[in-house]
Amino acid sequence: MRLAYVAALAVALTACASKPAEEKQPVSAPATAAAPAPTPAPAPAAPKAAIGDFGLDLTSADHSVRAGDDFFAYANGGWDRTFEIPADKSSYGPFDRLDDLTKERLRVILEKAAAAHAATGTPQQQIGDFYAAFLDETTIEANGLAPAQAGLDAIAAAKTRSDVARLFGTLGFASLFDVSLSADNKNPDRYMVQITESSLGLPDRDYYLKDDPQLKTLREKYVAYVARMLTLGGSPDPHTQARAVMEFETAAAKVQWPIEKRRDAEATYNPRTKAQLQAYAPGFPWQAFLDAQQLGGRQDLVLGELTAVRDLAHLFGKTPVPTLRAFLTFHYLNDNAPYLPKRFDEARFAFYGQTMRGQPQQRERWKRGVSAVDGALGEAVGQLYVAEYFPPESKAKMQQLVNNLKAALSQRIDHLDWMTPETKTRAHEKLAGFTTKIGYPDTWKDYSTLTIKRDDPLGNSHRAAQWWWDYQLARLDKPVDRGEWGMNPQEINAYYNPLNNEIVFPAAILQPPFFDPNADDAVNYGAIGAVIGHEIGHGFDDQGRKFGPTGAMVDWWTVKDAQVFDQRKDLLIREFSGFEALPGLKVNGANTIGENIGDLGGLNMAHEAYLISLKGKPAPVLDGLTGDQRFYLAYAQVWREKYRDGAMRQLVMSDVHSPSRFRVNGPLPNIDTWYEAFDVKSTDRMYIPPEQRVRIW
């Protein structure tokens, strides 16, 4: 963040140093004898921001709209009106643009690795051969269904529910239940075995249950897609089986929990012994399921969506085995379609890409290949990426930003008028316990035991999944590795992990428009500063607040403070629930409340951190814009995104994030300095009276 200041200071010092050198020229000597004074070297130009003159794209605005009526349109309306979503995308914004750039860079890295034919077991061999195998469509077509035949035969051989349960627990096959080996919410220094409901073929339960004409049509098309996949797989009665699969998944959706309830960290933490699980949910062969995952001897488990686990077990127990086999067969073909002949891959895209998300064109094969390698060998790829594209000094610059954000939140906690001193003390303790990870992990994963073959793309995918599962099993009884990362360095994203009480910023997001060392400070604080604040804010949102400084889930709030927090949270839920994303489709504020608290708190923290960075000096005016104006415009700039209708529907119905327009227009009306910066009036549409503004962090 201080690079612009240092650069300006360097120019000034250069200019001052050159003048004394000129004054040392002999002025008393005759002119004819004097040597011509040397021309001083021009001072180096200050590095220029990547976007505009100082980090903002001012051409994207639409000032025919009042800032107080629709700030998203005011900042981004010109871009929104003219930009066309690329044919191979269902939505597009800065995250996608950076993802495209990163994939182009990774393509070069992977192609070099593929051409090198490095020694077996080296990272270059593994990522190169995985990528080459994925791109070798000729071999994939020639092999047909042969690579998948062993899996299909295993499904066909399942005669009993115990056989099916064993497949449910085998990697590569679908299930009604997911098993994760993650840190224990109540004791984050150890790992736990957690059983939760699994996802189905449609994005979320409402896709099966909601009485909506568009969803009814989509459900019929889903049945047709299931039948198409079963036909391609050689099933004898695909249409009858497809209907049975749909009925089975609909019944499962009815007992699954909605997003709002799945988000509840306390409701989804239910320790049980294996014997208690078997007594509570007797319709499912749990022993066979756990044996298949090498967890059969585990006696202590944690159940997630408690009643869903019970009711899904009951559903399994009454479902005919042929229907369960059809369910497994469809999902096996669907999940592996990218590694199978084009007829499978194209059928999958036709439904999920074109029909569901409205995406006209499949991504190029090489782009999907980059994503596939990322998913299998992410840190091996990431190590090569950061060596070339992430300068070490970026860590230091980001750390200063983080320090200022933490200082800002500390000040804000001190000045909260709704929180008691007792809870403030505990909030400070949690903030002091925050750790920060920037760029990439200190220790990289070693994939040397993973076998990758240039002629076996499907096998590569399965072996990579098995490697990851074995890796987790091997550490199950060891202390939690708090140095591990949950994202690859090349991901355009960031996250907060409550169990480590940490914020994490992968290298690839630390690029314009999010972070530019040559941009104006106000722009960087409004962009990456708000992202940092957002992630810090997750530690204090409606779920993050349930975890203490060490990462353990513990109640550190007074009853009074918790009640006031919930009242203010409910106000924000009501505000966002009023936003209409598509005609008749409104945002569910209860689903998105954690992210919305993160945005609101993050903006408040980032703005205060920007003021800290000024050290009491007035912010400069650039191109007629004050510091506060640049700050809020930068925030809006990173959230300019367009969606196809199908993608918007999927986001609203199955995601915990609000659409980008509302991530701008939602939090800003609750921030006083935004009103002052843009002269927002009480007659403007976004105006909220001061006494009704949501003030949490």
Largest CA-CA distance found in the chain, in angstroms, rounded: 111
Predicted local confidence at residue 62, as pLDDT: 96
Give tens-digit pLDDT for 458-483.
999 999 999 999 999 999 999 999 99
Q: How much is the average pLDDT of 559-575?
A: 98
% of the chain residues with pLDDT over 90: 92
Predicted local confidence at residue 287, as pLDDT: 98
| DSSP element (H, E) containing 643 | strand 642-643
Cα–Cα distances in Å, from 59 out to 76, 77, 82, 640? 9, 10, 12, 13
3-state secondary structure of 191: strand
Q: How much is the average pLDDT of 91-97?
A: 97
Predicted local confidence at residue 25, as pLDDT: 30
How far is residue 426's CA from residue 314's CA, in Å, rounded to a whole number? 44
Answer whether residue 322 shows pLDDT above 60: yes
What is the fold of 58-62+69-83+390-442+477-692?
Answer: Collagenase (Catalytic Domain) (3.40.390)
Q: How much is the average pLDDT of 283-293?
A: 98
The length of the chain in residues reads 697
How far is residue 63's CA from residue 665's CA, in Å, rounded to a whole number? 16
| DSSP element (H, E) containing 307 | helix 306-318
58-62+69-83+390-442+477-692 with 148-340: one CATH topology?
A: no
Give tens-digit pLDDT for 151-195.
999 999 999 999 999 999 999 999 999 999 999 999 999 999 999
Using pLDDT thresholds of 50, 70 and 90, give the confidence band for residue 279: very high
| Nearest Cα to Cα of residue 222 among 16, 440, 214 | 214
Predicted local confidence at residue 39, as pLDDT: 59
Domain boundaries, the chain: 58-62+69-83+390-442+477-692, 148-340
Predicted local confidence at residue 19, as pLDDT: 29
Q: How much is the average pLDDT of 566-570?
A: 98
Give tens-digit pLDDT for 12-40.
222 333 322 333 333 223 333 334 455 55
Cα–Cα distances in Å, from 517 out to 235, 394, 453, 513, 629? 58, 8, 42, 11, 19
Predicted local confidence at residue 41, as pLDDT: 57
How far is residue 353's CA from residue 360's CA, in Å, rounded to a whole number? 7
Give tens-digit pLDDT for 380-417.
999 999 999 998 878 888 999 999 999 999 999 999 99
CATH number of 148-340: 1.10.1380.10
Answer whether residue 278 shows pLDDT above 60: yes
State the average pLDDT for the chain.
93
Side chain identity at residue 66, one-letter code: R
Note the pTM of the prediction, 2 decimals.
0.91
Give tens-digit pLDDT for 678-687.
999 999 999 9
Residue 620, preceding peptide bond in cis (omega within 30° of 0): no
Answer whether residue 271 shows pLDDT above 80: yes
Give tens-digit pLDDT for 237-256.
999 999 999 999 999 999 99
How far is residue 50's CA from residue 47's CA, in Å, rounded to a whole number? 9
- Strand spans (E) along 172-248: 177-183, 191-197
Q: How much is the average pLDDT of 628-636?
A: 98
Q: How much is the average pLDDT of 73-82?
A: 97
